[in-house]
């Protein structure tokens, strides 16, 4: 009998997933002559790659006697089938014992054999979820997957793929999602019954439109414009760079702040006059959502151009601080001016008011530039003042330091020059009460001796504090001394005679030196001297008085004749 059933049932096949599980479990009937015994059941359930669809293959069954085999299947769900290879579809998830019974046509006791295998059927869960089709960016979106279910009532896991690179896995059917960027996203929900089979998941998708409010770009929020003529009252407003993530067709509405409105991304508007206007721009993407619009506020300021006033021309001196005051400059709003002075020599200073000292003389064009800090659209305003910087002239005096009364003395204003090349005028003061205006070389005669301070003042005629310069010199005028040698003298040979010059004088009170020349070849100094002639005769006595002034009039002489008599010799004879 064993040989008759050899090979009667080769295998129970589940194609594609477990092609040899049943084949390995279902053994051939015992060898020929031995009746087959029932196979042990396989404890591990078999699952199909097709979820609830199975193909059962018993074509590997065999009969040792090569008799014809018939096949009978019981699928465990109340349905049966015959044939070596059968397909079966289960309608519900669960575990089912599948019974294969084979029978040969021998009619013997060992003509049958059977094998049972448990299969596990997993029907994919049903997936469905609800969500709004149009939402706003940065606002929470409620997602409801409550309609999703498993036919066996198994608890589900929910895997959300939001289409923006983010995911969420949860055991709850309700979730929340916030999109940060506008766009159209494919949202996918995968539900999982956690059976770890190829049939444990199901997926559903929905498209969701995420709207992002437009982002207004209309340039700076403060728009300044300088009004120098009527045409400058027209302002260009441009919001064409406004960005919309969703590329919607945008509507632009301008409230221009003067009671009028205008539409369009780029507009031109003429205001009634100078002033500040508050402008409101509303941009709508027409999506109908609460995030459909953006609003921006602007301020349009139409200002008059500033006016620079540098002040009157000024004359100053080198090294002298000159005030530069531009406070008379004007702007539409007080306190909005910024000033800068260019002094005309490459130097400059910031500020409406400042001071500066020029180191070199010359004529400079100082320029004041003012700008309105509240309206950079206005060009700077400039004004110029002439600054004449005068350099002081220079002078010195050359003259004789010693002279005599009555001498004509020449005074020269030497080194007299003006760095600016101005013509100079000369004013002389001679110290004796005489003042004159004249050339650079003058002559003067003093009538009295003494020491005099001579001053010359030069003037360049510019009328500045540094227009004049002066120099002085001192000159000593000498009065000749008066020599008085006394009256003629009569004296005797060999007799000392007194010579007296004390009556001599000097108007300048100079100390005098007295020199006597006696006419006999002898000289003697002193105001009062004694002299003795050795021979009789007439002698011219000369007195020289010197006041030691080192001038040509420092000496004076006086003279007289000294009669020197010899003593007569008395003789007589006696007769």
Give residue-wise pLDDT tens across range 296-326.
999 998 878 888 999 999 999 999 999 999 9
Residue 198: band (very low, low, confident or very high) from pLDDT cuts 50, 70, 90: confident
Distance CA 566, CA 491 (A): 9
Indicate the CATH number for domain 314-390.
Answer: 2.60.40.10
Question: 512 is written with which tokens?
Answer: 């005098």
Residue 43's pLDDT is what?
59
CB-CB contact of 160 with 100 (8 Å): no
For 495-518, how does the pLDDT look when each residue is reduced to its tens digit (9 = 90+)? 999 999 999 999 999 999 999 999
Q: Is it the case that residue 49 has pLDDT exceeding 90?
A: no
Residues of the chain with CATH 2.60.40.10: 2-121, 134-211, 222-304, 314-390, 394-478, 489-565
Distance CA 12, CA 98 (A): 10
Average pLDDT over residues 174-182: 95
Residue 40: band (very low, low, confident or very high) from pLDDT cuts 50, 70, 90: very low
Q: Is it the case that residue 100 has pLDDT exceeding 80?
A: yes
Distance CA 132, CA 293 (A): 20
CATH number of this structure's domain 489-565, picked from the four choices 3.40.50.1100, 2.60.40.10, 3.30.70.270, 3.40.50.1580 = 2.60.40.10
Average pLDDT over residues 450-463: 91
CA distances from 392 to 336, 364, 417 (A): 41, 17, 9
Sign of the dihedral through C-alpha 351, 355, 358, 362: positive
CATH number of this structure's domain 222-304, picked from the four choices 3.30.559.30, 2.60.40.10, 3.20.20.70, 2.40.30.10 = 2.60.40.10
Distance CA 264, CA 261 (A): 10
Residue 480: band (very low, low, confident or very high) from pLDDT cuts 50, 70, 90: very high
Residue 304's pLDDT is what?
81
Say which CATH class 134-211 falls into: mainly beta
Say which CATH class 394-478 falls into: mainly beta
Q: What is the CA radius of gyration of the chain?
A: 70
CA–CA–CA angle 277, 280, 284 (5° rounding): 160
Q: Is it the case that residue 16 has pLDDT exceeding 80?
A: no
Please tell us whether the domain made up of 2-121 is placed in CATH 2.60.40.10.
Answer: yes
Average pLDDT over residues 50-58: 92
Average pLDDT over residues 417-431: 88
Q: Is it the case that residue 374 has pLDDT exceeding 80?
A: no
Q: Is it the case that residue 555 has pLDDT exceeding 80?
A: yes
């Amino acid at each position: 009998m064993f040989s008759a059933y050899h090979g009667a049932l080769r295998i129970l096949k589940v194609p594609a997933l477990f092609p040899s599980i049943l084949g390995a479990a279902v053994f051939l009937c015992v060898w020929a002559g031995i009746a087959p015994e029932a196979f042990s059941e396989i404890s591990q359930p078999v699952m199909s790659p097709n979820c609830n669809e199975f193909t059962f293959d018993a074509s590997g069954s065999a009969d040792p006697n090569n008799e014809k085999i018939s096949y009978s299947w019981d699928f465990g769900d109340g349905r049966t089938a015959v044939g070596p290879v059968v397909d079966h579809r289960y309608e519900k998830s669960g575990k089912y014992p599948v019974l294969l019974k084979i029978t040969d046509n021998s009619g013997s006791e060992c003509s049958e054999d059977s094998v049972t295998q448990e299969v596990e059927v997993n029907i994919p869960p049903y997936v469905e979820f609800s969500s709004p089709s149009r939402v706003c960016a940065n606002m929470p979106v409620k997602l409801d997957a409550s309609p999703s279910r498993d036919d066996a009532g198994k608890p589900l896991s929910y895997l959300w793929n939001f289409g923006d690179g983010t995911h969420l896995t949860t055991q709850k059917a309700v979730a929340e999602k916030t999109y940060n960027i506008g766009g159209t996203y494919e949202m996918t929900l995968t539900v999982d019954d956690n059976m770890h089979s190829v049939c444990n998941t199901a997926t559903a998708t929905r498209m969701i439109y995420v709207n992002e409010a437009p982002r207004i770009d209309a340039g700076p929020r403060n728009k300044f414009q300088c009004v120098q003529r009527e045409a400058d009252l027209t302002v260009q407003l441009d919001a064409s760079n406004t960005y919309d993530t969703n590329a919607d067709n945008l509507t632009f509405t301008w409230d221009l702040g003067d009671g009028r409105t205008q539409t369009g991304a780029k507009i031109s508007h003429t205001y009634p006059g100078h002033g500040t206007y508050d402008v409101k721009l509303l941009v709508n993407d027409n999506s109908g959502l609460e995030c459909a619009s953006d609003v921006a506020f602007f301020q349009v300021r139409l200002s008059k151009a500033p006016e620079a006033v540098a002040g009157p021309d000024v004359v100053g001196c080198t090294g002298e601080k000159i005030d530069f005051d531009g406070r008379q400059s004007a702007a539409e709003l007080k306190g909005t001016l910024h000033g800068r002075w260019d002094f005309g020599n490459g130097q400059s200073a910031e500020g409406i008011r400042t001071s500066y000292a020029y180191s070199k003389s010359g004529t400079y064009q100082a320029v004041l530039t003012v700008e309105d800090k509240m309206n950079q659209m206005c060009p700077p305003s400039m004004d110029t003042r002439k600054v004449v910087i005068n350099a002081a002239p220079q002078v010195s005096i050359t003259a004789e330091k010693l002279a005599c009364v009555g001498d004509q003395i020449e005074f020269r204003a030497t080194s007299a020059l003006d760095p600016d090349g101005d013509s100079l005028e000369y004013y002389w003061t001679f110290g004796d009460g005489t003042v004159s205006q004249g050339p650079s070389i003058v002559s003067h005669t003093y009538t009295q001796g003494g020491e005099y301070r001579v001053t010359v003042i030069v003037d360049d005629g510019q009328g500045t504090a540094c227009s004049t310069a002066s120099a002085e010199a001192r000159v000593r005028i000498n009065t000749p001394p008066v020599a008085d040698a006394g009256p003629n003298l009569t004296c005797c040979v060999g007799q000392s005679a007194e010579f007296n010059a004390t009556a001599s004088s000097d108007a300048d009170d100079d100390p005098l030196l007295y020199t006597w020349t006696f006419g006999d070849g002898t000289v003697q100094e002193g105001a009062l001297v004694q002299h003795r002639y050795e021979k009789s005769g007439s002698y011219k006595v000369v007195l020289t008085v010197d006041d030691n002034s080192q001038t040509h009039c420092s000496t004076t002489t006086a003279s007289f004749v000294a009669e020197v008599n010899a003593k007569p010799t008395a003789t007589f004879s006696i007769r």
